[in-house]
Structure 1
Amino acid sequence: MTDNTSSASEADDWAAALAEQTAASPEPAPAPAASQVFQQIQETASVAAGVTALDIARVMEVPVQLTAEIGRTRITIKNLLQLSQGSVVELDALAGQPLDVLINGYLIAQGEVVVVNEKYGIRLTDIITPSERMQKLAR
């Protein structure tokens, strides 16, 4: 099988999984039209900063680091050096607990691991709101 055929097959599998999830989830409340939201952002930015137009396309190309964290642990250097293939490291998370999704080190969502066509992915189950993020930083 060629790489193109394999990639198309994998894309179809992911699309089918997404369609299945969408069909199973209730319809979300309709969001305001994107043009209205961007127009509000542009108006706010131009009033606040004296900018004539906000180029949102520049922001869309900024690379970020996405990390999926299953759990954490602290071990001594002695124990770290004793690790080998097949070693088990105990984490602070319980089996079946949602994993944390971080962008540039900041928690933005929680999710669960999914497998489609022998590849791993993350299904986001809870998006952390900006106010929740601020409360966690204040602790």
Structure 2
Amino acid sequence: MRRKNKKAVEKSNKNLFNKIVYFFKIKSLSHKRSKLENNYEKVLYVRCAESIKKLDYTKEVVDGLYTLIVGAVGENSTVKELEKLSNDYYLINDFSMEFNPPIYNKRENDRIFSIQIDHLLISKSGIFLLETKN
């Protein structure tokens, strides 16, 4: 902006016609510069709004995936520890089951259509349902 203004001033000094033409150009450039300087934050926000919107969306997606990733890491760590048990234990990971017809839950007054258990550990002393939280 300053270079354009400087060039306009240099050209306006050549003759009367240039002085008239470049007077208005200089005035216009000075006005634009002043407007940019006085509204810097607003101009910056307008120019960056689309990029900010994309970054916000990306952050939202990453934040949403964070719990899934942390959960997967936690489940993997649990599996590694449970695999250290003797062969007397049988481990089933990510056990799922659907019910048809669904099971009626009196307490909640609703129906249970399926279940998902992170780890099902079967041993001589019992069956253990393990839910991993990280």
TM class by shorter chain equals under 0.3
Higher helix proportion: 2
Higher strand proportion: 2
Structure 2 length-normalised TM: 0.20
